[in-house]
Amino acid sequence: MSENDDMNCVSSAITAMFLAWNASDETSIRREAVRALTDNVEFVDPDYNILGIEAFVAMVKEFRRNHRNARPALVGPIDSHHNLARYLWAVDLGDGNRLTGADVVAYDPSTCRIQRIESFVDAADSN
């Protein structure tokens, strides 16, 4: 896979994952998660350490229940090498608060799906 194909692959998976985070119903969350993630995806952040798409879908559903108006988004470019990628993100919580952070993901270039997400969350900012 060329470097350009590699970037398209991981960008596609990350975009689908953000669509899952922004979806408002379980069907849409699951559809995008299946596009983005391997069946045995691992997600680790300060609050969660989960394994599998079902656990990821449940985590996103809980997030959406607690933050109905939240809008997660990429902020800045994606860097990628050796089946790893990193990017910055922000979440406008819809209540005047904003979360920021960075993720490092490992992905399978043969399926263009994410295998592991390590998420680092900065302190919340008030607008």
Residue by residue, pLDDT tens for the chain (127 residues) are 555 566 788 999 999 999 999 999 999 999 999 999 999 999 999 999 999 999 999 999 999 999 999 999 999 999 999 999 999 999 999 999 999 999 999 999 999 999 999 999 997 666 5
For residues 73 and 99, the answer to whether their CB atoms sit within 8 Å is no
- Number of domains within the chain: 1
Domain, as residue range, for 112: 3-126
We report the CATH number of the domain holding residue 95 as 3.10.450.50
DSSP-assigned states of every residue in 64-104: HHH-TT-EEEE-SPPEEETTEEEEEEEEE-SSSEEEEEEEE
pTM: 0.91
Q: Give the pLDDT score at 9.
A: 87
